[in-house]
Amino acid sequence: MRALIKLRRALPRPTRRRVVGGAVILVLVAALVTWAVLPERRSWTASDQRVTVLSGPSGTEPVALDTRFYLPKGRDGKVPAVLLAHGFGGTKNSVSADAESLADRGYAVLTWTARGFGASGGQIHLDSPDHEVKDAQRLLDWLAARPEIRTDASGDPRVGVVGGSYGGALALLLAGRDPRVDAIVPLITWNDLGTAFFPQSATGVTDPGVFKKAWAGLFFGNAAPTQSGSSSGSPSGSSSGSSSRSASSPLPTGRPAEGGDPACGRFAASVCAAYLKMATTGTPDAETAALLRRSSPASVLDRIKAPTLLIQGAVDTLFPLSEADANARGIAQTGTTVRVAWFTGGHDGGSGPQTDQDRTKFLTAQWLDHYVKGEGEAPATSFTYSRVAGFSALDRGLVTNGYSDPVYPGLGGTGRTEVTVRGSAQPIANPPNGNPGALSSLPGVGGQVSTFLGRFAGDLPGQHATFDSAPVADAIEVVGAPTVRLRMASPTGTATVFVKLFDVDPKGTATLSGGLVAPVRLTGLPADIASARPVTVTLPAMVRRIDAGHTVRVVVATSDQAFLTPAPPAVYTVAVEPAVSLPTVVGSPIANPQVVWRWVLLGVLGVIVLGLAAVLVLRRRREIPPVAEFADTPLVVRDLRKAYDDGFVAVERVGFRVERGQVVGLLGPNGAGKTTTLRVLMGLTMPTSGDALVFGRPLVPGSPILSRVGALVEGPGFLPHLSGYENLRAYWQATGRPLEDARFEEALEIAGLGDSVHRRTKNYSHGMRQRLAIAQAMLGLPELLVLDEPTDGLDPPQIAEMRRVLRRYATDGRAVLVSSHLLAEVEQTCTHAVVVNKGRIVAAGPVDDIVGESPSVQLSVSDVVAATTVLEGLDVRSVTPDGASDLIVDMNGTPREEVVASLVRAGVGVDRVVPRRRLEDAFLALVGDNSRGSGDR
């Protein structure tokens, strides 16, 4: 410090200010970086103990369970609880990361090692209602007796149950048998073990399905018993999917009890006997079928009253999407709230890419926060799904795009696209004992290596028939279960085949989505293909984009090493009907949740170094004098043009003004140039020509005029180990302005985060980050506010509040520029609009002027049905219901007086007739179908 003081005295005054200021900034950065990289202080405590519970058919059989209890520190009163179950072959350690995350959110979390695994006692009964389910009920009793746990009544803890695979089925079975459960989140789990291990893909066929021998062998085999307490690479399942791991080796059965049967390990005798029968005969007898049914959520779906979030993986040859679909339909029939989410992982795909892990974490936390903790608005029950979108070198893996649809469409999609395949009837040979057999997938890794297997060890010559389509003209977004119709002939009257759908690119590379196969076992077949009747085969549901120019290929094979096939050799004949039906869903894109940058230290240092360099360079430049005529105008954009080296012109001659008191909406289709314009305005990219002036001065990095501007353009970004409030303070302190000028109270009121503002932002949902970022932009109440998609991630009540905030904000001489694709929000929020298309402005001015006169009116009537009948008899273009008592009528030139008179003559009361002015109509008229569809640059 003394050396710094001496240096300060020795330097000229201007240089002295720069050096000392830079040193202060570096000290501040060092403090922030030290905070970010220091080990986290745990916000919870964890204690291990053995808890003995009484279960079994009589409820008197003791079993000791190895448990771990997480309790939040600094809790204010009693807290809600989460019962967190692991997957088959796992232990309480398998879900420790998810337990810690939930504890950070303020939940008491109880994890345990299920009976028969790890250090717990007892035998494995496959989620038996008398054993594993009763064990969980006794753990609910244990939670209810804890003084720290919030209760709804005596003995009734406030609790959610979360689990994946084995733990997911337990969550469903427990909710169906114990009304104390308040909410559940089952992941990658089954509906019916019978159909899961004996799938039958042919519609209307009652014969038993085809035995899934490879997966059954992993679950029930005893080839590799492990030591007690181990945790294999099994699909453990977790609250977020982040701890899920694929099973690439036999699952552990644990050590056999002393003097027990070494063939059964720690399995109960009934479960062991059922497996041996299935593996020997390939079909379940009545006793085995009953055992599998008792361990299936399908048996209790009509009794589940707890709101249910079902998360299922699209890369799962064990429990495919159809299992979650059956659970969703069964629970929804009782009126229970259900939401379905598909992600690009599963037993074969693990927890999926990082973006999907973040999405499932967010959905889980949102569900529990509302239904268990009682915080936040009710989550939407819209259907969400994702598909792989590309590869990210930063995340060192695949990334996904997420989509949503207001209503869960089931496996049939909301639309269908038919593709015609060609090919005549073909003979295919069934090899003796299924050897050699096709290798479509490997349990635990099938979805990850299907392309590799397809090239080197896929369908074998003579054992499969191929039917190809022509290259598709347009991309097809397949979301759901495709269907094909085939005809079979067999000299034995029976046949077992495997139907697959491949996506073949122009180079001939065929990809089997997720390694998914539809097994079909048919009986009563004719010997002649001409006499065969078509059978509809439903393929496993998938999420896949088949790009334009790609070919759809249907393959029918006689063997598959994942399934048990008939031992005798035979030659079948197969034909496929030309039409292949592909389900589609046109989902709305959803933003990827914020992903914490793994190299925070490098990023912070890099940004600071660049920022200091920019400040030093800019201060050496001569200050550009202001343009006097615009000194009091918040924003003036003049002939802005941005062109790239490859010749692409993002914006061309864009010019507009934002005056005090205005809320201006910047509108345009994807690729129109909105984001490029905002980036230029904020100095994030340099224009080719033209400029943007803020209160008469160019907006460039380091300019003092930045203190009068607040912006959210590149998306929210915060230090994950700081709370929301600490992030806001650190941001404001970095500006060098007094804390009292920040107006923190107003900003936090805008954020609406409540006590959550004091939680670390690493645990924030996407919507919470968005709200905090908006509050950060409003710190100090800057005179010009620039926001890019401010309602992204907000729910409807938050959007409505944001509308009010922006309108209030533009008072007292302030101004707002907002880019949004929500036209209804812009119409209700903005005073003015600028419409951009193909990089040029096509309209600008007050919103009312752009909307203009509408050909439609809104009628409020006493009888909607009678009014519709009357209006359809007039010369109007359309009549559309709009609520319980309103109609939207496109007049088609029919005088308004004639419409009202006709309704009155028919005895229909007319309460109100108003023009319907919609910005959406004007917008579509201005841009039509001229969207580039390629996104901004």
Condensed to tens digits (0 to 9), the pLDDT of residues 564-616 reads 899 899 999 999 999 999 999 998 888 654 433 333 444 444 544 455 555 44
- b/e code 841-873 from CB counts within 10 Å (16+ = b): bbbbeebeebbeebebbbbbbeebeebbebbee
> Residue 624 contacts by C-beta under 8 Å, 6 or more apart in sequence?
697, 698
Residue 629: how many CB atoms within 10 A of its CB? 10
Sheet containing 635-643: order of strands: 649-658, 635-643, 689-694, 697-698
Q: What whole-number percentage of the chain has pLDDT above 70?
A: 80
Q: Give the type of residue at 841.
A: I
* Cα 809 to Cα 815: distance, rounded to the nearest angstrom: 7
In order, the DSSP letters of 583-597 are EE--PEEEPPPP---
> Residue 93 contacts by C-beta under 8 Å, 6 or more apart in sequence?
231
Token code pair at residue 587: 């989902």
**pLDDT range class, residue 236, cuts 50, 70, 90:** very low
Helix (H, G, I), strand (E, B) or coil at 353: coil
Instruction: Report which secondary-structure segment, H or E, holds 636.
Output: strand 635-643
* Cα 854 to Cα 877: distance, rounded to the nearest angstrom: 13
* Cα 353 to Cα 330: distance, rounded to the nearest angstrom: 30
> Residue 672 contacts by C-beta under 8 Å, 6 or more apart in sequence?
836, 837, 838, 839, 927, 931, 932, 936
Scanning 267-368, the segments in alpha helix (DSSP H) are: 269-281, 286-294, 321-332, 354-368
In order, the DSSP letters of 877-935 are SEEEE-SSSEEEEE-TT--HHHHHHHHHHTT--EEEEEE---HHHHHHHHHTT----S-
Q: What is the mean pLDDT of residues 163-181?
A: 97
> 649-658 and 815-819 as β-strands: parallel, antiparallel, unpaired?
unpaired
**pLDDT range class, residue 20, cuts 50, 70, 90:** very low
* Cα 245 to Cα 58: distance, rounded to the nearest angstrom: 36
Signed CA dihedral, 282, 288, 290, 293: sign only = negative
**pLDDT range class, residue 831, cuts 50, 70, 90:** confident
Q: Give the type of residue at 880.
A: T
The reported pLDDT for the residue numbered 936 is 46
Q: What is the mean pLDDT of residues 260-273?
A: 80
Q: Is the pLDDT of residue 177 over 70?
A: yes
The reported pLDDT for the residue numbered 3 is 41
Residue 448: how many CB atoms within 10 A of its CB? 19
The reported pLDDT for the residue numbered 761 is 84
Token code pair at residue 507: 């180079």
The reported pLDDT for the residue numbered 755 is 78
Mean pLDDT of the chain: 80
The reported pLDDT for the residue numbered 135 is 97
> Residue 21 contacts by C-beta under 8 Å, 6 or more apart in sequence?
none
Asked if 820 and 832 count as a contact pair (C-beta separation under 8 A), the reply is no
Q: Give the type of residue at 206.
A: T
Q: What is the pLDDT of residues 297-327, one digit of tens each?
A: 999 999 999 999 999 999 999 999 999 999 9
Nearest in space to 339 (alpha carbons), one of 375, 370, 315, 299: 370
Most confident of 20-29, 561-570, 804-813: 561-570
Token code pair at residue 561: 């090493």
**pLDDT range class, residue 260, cuts 50, 70, 90:** low
Which residue ranges form the domains of the chain, and what is each CATH number?
A: 1-39+599-623 (no CATH), 51-198+232-248+293-377 (3.40.50.1820), 412-587 (2.60.120.260), 625-849 (3.40.50.300), 853-916 (3.30.70.100)
Q: What is the mean pLDDT of residues 151-171?
A: 96
Sheet containing 856-861: order of strands: 878-881, 886-890, 856-861, 910-915
Q: Which residue has the tokens 């697959």?
A: 500
Asked if 215 and 318 count as a contact pair (C-beta separation under 8 A), the reply is yes
Token code pair at residue 150: 């919030």
Q: What is the pLDDT of residues 856-905, one digit of tens each?
A: 778 888 888 898 888 888 888 888 888 778 888 887 778 878 888 888 88
Nearest in space to 492 (alpha carbons), one of 525, 516, 469, 464: 525
Asked if 373 and 80 count as a contact pair (C-beta separation under 8 A), the reply is yes
Q: Is 922 exposed, middle or buried (0-12, 13-18, 19+ CB in 10 A)?
A: buried
- b/e code 564-578 from CB counts within 10 Å (16+ = b): bbbeeebebbbbbbe
* Cα 296 to Cα 192: distance, rounded to the nearest angstrom: 5
Q: Is the pLDDT of residue 64 over 60?
A: yes
Nearest in space to 322 (alpha carbons), one of 499, 190, 230, 427: 190
Token code pair at residue 352: 């999926």
* Cα 788 to Cα 676: distance, rounded to the nearest angstrom: 11
The reported pLDDT for the residue numbered 191 is 96
* Cα 683 to Cα 412: distance, rounded to the nearest angstrom: 48
Q: What is the mean pLDDT of residues 659-671?
A: 84
Q: What is the pLDDT of residues 471-483, one digit of tens each?
A: 999 999 999 999 9
Whole-number Cα distances in Å, 460 to 416, 432, 564: 32, 14, 17
Q: Is the pLDDT of residue 344 over 50?
A: yes
* Cα 771 to Cα 377: distance, rounded to the nearest angstrom: 15
Q: What is the pLDDT of residues 81-140, one digit of tens each?
A: 999 999 998 899 999 989 999 999 999 999 999 999 999 999 999 999 999 999 999 999
* Cα 467 to Cα 426: distance, rounded to the nearest angstrom: 10
pTM here? Answer: 0.62
* Cα 761 to Cα 719: distance, rounded to the nearest angstrom: 7
